[in-house]
Every structure is written in C-alpha cells, then in structure tokens.
Amino acid sequence: MKTSTLTALLLGSLSIIGISSCKKLAPAKQGTQTTVVTINPKIATAVCDYNFDETSLTGSGWTKSFDDEFDTDLSKWYAYTGGVQNELQCFEPANVTIVNGVLQIAAKKETVTGPTTVNSSSNSTFNFTSGSIVSNATFGPSTATPKIRIVARVKIASGNGLVSLFDSYGPSWPTNGQINLFQVEGNDVKRYQTNYFYGTQPNQNLVNNGMLNNPTDSDLSACWHVFTTEWTQNALNYYLDGQLVETKTAGGYVGGMFGKVQNLSLNLLIGGSYYNNIAPADVQTGTMYVDYVKVFTSK
C-alpha cells in the first residue's frame, strides 16, 4: 500500500462535553497523533444511484433495529447549535431540513452570532452556518448481537472547504470509541476516508494508523451512494455500494469498543484542520443529502 507520514490534527471537531444524555454530547473530538496515512491501492467501484436491498440482510438472519427514511420529522435526532474549535461554521438547527423525504444539511455563507463551541456559555460571530445532528438512540455490538451494520444512502456535498462526515461516538471520548463511517472533502469527491478512535481514559486516544483513504472511480456528489460499516468484535468492515472496500483492524483497539454503545452523527463541516485553515473567501457552500439511515444487528 502507498503511504505518506504526517503529524496532523486528524479530521476533527471538539471534545465530548457532558455525559448524561446524548443531547449533551458535543461533536466528537479526533485527537492529535503521528500516523501513517495509508491509501487503499484498490480503486472502489461506485455505482450511481445505488440502493441496497435490505431483504438480502433480513433474509439471512439480520434484524433491523433502526430505520429513518426522513419521511416526516427529525424526532429521532438532536440538532446541535454552536461552533467547533478551529472550524468556520456555526451549527444551526435551521440548516437541517427534510424536503420530499430527503434530509438536507446545508452550508451557507451568512453572518450569525452563536455559542463559540457547542454547549459553550460564550458567544462568537461566524461568517458561515451549517448543520450537525446526533441520534437519540445508541448502537453497538454485544454478546447477544455481536455484529451490527450501519447503512446510509447519501449524496456527498461538493464545494471547496466542505467536509461531509458520518460518524458514531459515545460519551467520555474516546472511552466508548468513535468510528468515522465516512468523511469526504468537498474539493476531492472521488475519495473517502475512514478512521476510528479508542482510549481507556477521557481525551486520550490510543489508536494510531487507523485512517485509510479510499479512492473511487466516480464523483460521490453526483448521485446517490450507499455507505455501509459492519462493526464486529475485532474488525470494522467498510462497504461502498454493496462491495467490500476495506477491513480495519489497525491499531488493535477495535476490540476495546465491543460491548459499548455510540450515537450516530451526520455533519457538514467547513474548513478547520481538514483544509489547513482555509481562507473564508475560498469556501464554497453546498448541501449534503441523506436518503436514509438504517441499522441492522446479527448474531
């Protein structure tokens, strides 16, 4: 595999704040670490407007435990308000809408005043807004159901400065772990990145070399694609449009997340460490579209 070594604040947000309920979680922190960023030598085949047949899972013993087709409202989610350290956006619930059965998370150029960071008591002025939501329900493999699959059908947001991120995490980051199901930079929409984090103490990530860049043969913002992550006791298996793209065991800490639960989160970020502090004038606005999110469990 091709690799390049760097020290970076890896694709992230700020720390978890509050642990008593998912509505007090802040966007997940992703720690500073020296790592080898690996490029998957296999170019994944992306199938335009792919839609998986869930009976292929339920017919083989999987049980659907969560399903949001975004037909009505966002009652299964909580919308954040506030900024994220080193990023340009203020999250606003109004930027997360449902239109004709599709969730839309929009990044906009507009001036607002809001919490400096999510859950902060201080305010700041922002020149951009965007959206981020976290599921009220939590998910994770256990001895009763040792495998889960998290599925999302998405059109990635295109635009310089944007990052479409679907991740899962729990309180006291990263003691319950964090899984980056996909993250796509809007100026490079023919690849997506995956990662995970885990630690035995709050704010101390132990995982190194967990990130993988997965090149694809198509523009992930041009049409619908289905991202699937299978979380098992000792591995994370990532699928794009029904085809296995990678199996992640790097770092050896996937097993530490077994038996723990995480909330799902859909986010559209602007700037920050993803773009090495991009100039605001170079940011392009855009929208991430989500058709559905589903979770299945299996023995």
pLDDT tens for 36-83 read 679 999 999 999 999 999 999 999 999 999 999 999 999 999 999 999
Average pLDDT score, the chain: 90
Q: What does the DSSP 8-state code read for residue 161?
A: T
Tell me the C-alpha distance between 115 and 274, whole Å. Answer: 22
Neighbouring residues of 4: CB distance < 8 A, sequence distance ≥ 6: 36, 37, 39
Q: What is the pLDDT of residue 12?
A: 40
Q: What does the DSSP 8-state code read for residue 93?
A: G
The overall pTM is greater than 0.85: yes
Q: What is the pLDDT of residue 8?
A: 32
Q: Between the CA of residue 33 and those of 11, 90, 240, what are the distances in Å?
A: 11, 26, 27
As a whole-number percent, the residues of the chain with pLDDT over 70 amount to: 89
Q: What is the pLDDT of residue 276?
A: 85
Burial of 64 (0-12, 13-18, 19+ CB in 10 A): middle
Q: What is the mean pLDDT of residues 134-163?
A: 98
Tell me the C-alpha distance between 206 and 203, whole Å. Answer: 10
Closest listed residue to residue 131, CA positions, set 97, 167, 91, 163? 91
Tell me the C-alpha distance between 114 and 81, whole Å. Answer: 7
pLDDT of 13 > 60? The answer is no
Q: Which domain holds residue 256?
A: 2-298
Confidence class for position 155, pLDDT limits 50, 70, 90: very high
pLDDT of 35 > 60? The answer is no
Q: What is the pLDDT of residue 283?
A: 98
pLDDT of 170 > 80? The answer is yes
Between 24 and 115, the more confident residue is: 115
Residue with tokens 């309920």: 21
pLDDT of 20 > 80? The answer is no
Q: What is the pLDDT of residue 30?
A: 59
Q: Which amino acid is at 229?
A: T
Q: What does the DSSP 8-state code read for residue 57?
A: H
Number of compact structural domains in the chain: 1
Q: Report CA torsion sign: 11, 14, 16, 21.
A: negative
The length of the chain is 299
Q: What is the pLDDT of residue 24?
A: 58
Q: Note whether 12 and 211 are within 8 A (CB).
A: no
pLDDT tens for 229-284 read 999 999 999 999 999 999 999 789 999 999 999 999 999 999 988 898 899 999 99
Burial of 206 (0-12, 13-18, 19+ CB in 10 A): middle
Q: What is the pLDDT of residue 31?
A: 58
Q: What is the mean pLDDT of residues 203-227?
A: 96
Between 29 and 40, the more confident residue is: 40
Q: What is the pLDDT of residue 81?
A: 98
Burial of 142 (0-12, 13-18, 19+ CB in 10 A): middle
> Any idea what the CATH number is for the domain that residue 26 is in?
2.60.120.200
Q: What is the mean pLDDT of residues 201-206?
A: 96
